[in-house]
Structure 1
Amino acid sequence: MIYATRRFEFSAAHRYWRSDWSAEENERVFGPCAYPYGHGHNYTLDVTITGDLDPRTGMVMNMTELKALVSEVLEEFDHKHLNEDTPYFCEQLPTTENIVRVLWRLIAARLPHTARLARLRLYETSDLWAEYDGAEETTFARMYAFSAAHRLHSPLLSDKENLAIYGKCNNPNGHGHTYTLEVTVAGPVDPETGMVIDLTAMDRTVRSVLDRLDYRHLDREIAAFATQPSTAENIVIYLWQELAPRFEGRLRHLKLWETRKNVFEYTGPGAALPHTRHNR
């Protein structure tokens, strides 16, 4: 199956506010997003289509045609206040999760019969986005950082073998990284909040795990790495084991950047990795 992705951008304002809630409840749940006049973002939208190749053109769909089609949809959103200037958020909040589902409906209806919308990923900021593929569940992702030292050294190998395999990473005094962790959860969109998960609760959950690693030496201070090397592979598995029970079945995917060049992904024991794209 061939997938083709085109990136789009638009700018818009929005506000999270439920008129049937008190001001205190709105501010408790939505925080600054409930401020009275709204706020704005430069949104980025990745549109991925699939279908059979046209034997004449060698394309699933002409990207120029896709650009025109999606741009026409986004005209209704670009430089608008989503609550005030569009009809789509009278009865639902313009959260990232709800916006991406609205865009799915509008774009899918305009595609030619030879192409099919495979997924949309909408970035509200570079470290927060929602993705939708037409199913009941919507995925929501957020990126986090932590800094830690470690030494790659396996107790199952001799000192000579460790040095040969790990090289500079076997330095007895250790070295370190600022790790970046992408956490993806999935579930139905809550009809009241328009969210898959409360963002404050998600941040609190992830930080409760990462803060134990942040500014630490993994091998010397984290028990899990006393008997196994602190490779990024083992770190991302450890993070899954710690986070999955806390998300009660909603955790779908972890992606760990050790450096800009070394990236590691895990979706739990026995699960296949989803189709992923490196858009940044």
Structure 2
Amino acid sequence: MKFELSQRFFFDAAHTLDRKIETASSARIHGHTYSGEVAVGGARDPASGMVMDLGLLRAALDQVRQRLDHQFLDDIPELGAPTLENLCVYVMNALKSAQIDACRVSIWREGIGDRCTLTASC
């Protein structure tokens, strides 16, 4: 059997964005409340009964959250343009650096209905 565990998190951040539509409002500094969800998958360890200790995932996500929360996303060099797509890649890479192989990262802005999901093999 294969399991998928997930953990949600959120952060508030500001950014600008160079776009071809809604250019004036996107170019001004503005902020959002972002929600995220990370999933890890695999077989259950027979000894522990877990795919992964969720405490380890929460600790790694807390580190990522601290790097993003109440920040100006334009100033995070590893992020690139502060798009939902780049935020997904940023979170996936940050977890990989913490030796956590996420199979799915979703970032969304509930207030305006936008969502992006990055999927990798589990």
TM superposition score normalised by structure 1: 0.39
> Which of 181, 198, 202 is the equivalent residue of 2:36?
181
On the 8 A contact 1:188/1:196 being kept in 2, the answer is yes
**Higher Cα radius of gyration:** 1
* Aligned-pair CA distance for 1:236: 1.2
Q: How far did 1:219 drift?
A: 0.6
Query: How far did residue 166 of structure 1 move?
Result: 4.2
Indicate the SS of the match to 2:98.
Answer: helix
With normalisation by structure 2, the TM-score equals 0.84
Which structure is higher in RCO with an 8 Å CA cutoff and minimum separation 6? Answer: 2
Instruction: Give 1:201's match in structure 2, choosing from 56, 59, 77.
Output: 56
Map of 1:151 onto structure 2: 16
State the partner residue of 1:218: 73
What is the CA RMSD across the aligned residues, in angstroms? 1.9
Q: Aligned partners of 1:244 and 1:266: how far apart in 2?
A: 14
Which structure 2 residue ranges, 5 or more long, are not aligned?
none
Q: Deviations over 1:205-227 (max 9, x none)?
A: 1111121111111113x1224xx
Query: What is the CA–CA distance in structure 1 between the aligned matches of 2:92 and 2:107, rounded to whole Å?
Result: 11
Counterpart CA distance in 2 for 1:247 and 1:258 is 27
**Matches of 1:234 and 1:243, distance apart in 2:** 14
Matching residue's letter, 1:142: Q
Secondary structure of 1:210's aligned partner:
helix
- AA paired with 1:184? A
Match of 1:130 in 2: none
What do the CA deviations read for 1:43-72 (whole angstroms, capped 9, x no partner)? xxxxxxxxxxxxxxxxxxxxxxxxxxxxxx
1:232–1:258 CA contact under 8 A, matched in 2 = no
CA distance in 1, matches of 2:89, 2:56: 22
- Percent identity reads 30
**Pair 1:170-2:27 in alignment:** yes
Q: Which amino acid aligns with 1:255?
A: S
Quote the residue 1:70 is aligned against. Answer: none
Cα deviation for residue 229 of structure 1 reads 1.9
Q: Stretches of 4+ moved more than 4 A in 1? A: none
Q: Secondary structure at the match of 2:26?
A: helix
- List aligned pairs for 1:131-146, cutoff 5 A: 136-146=1-11
Aligned length: 119
Specify the alignment match of 2:102 in structure 1. Answer: 251
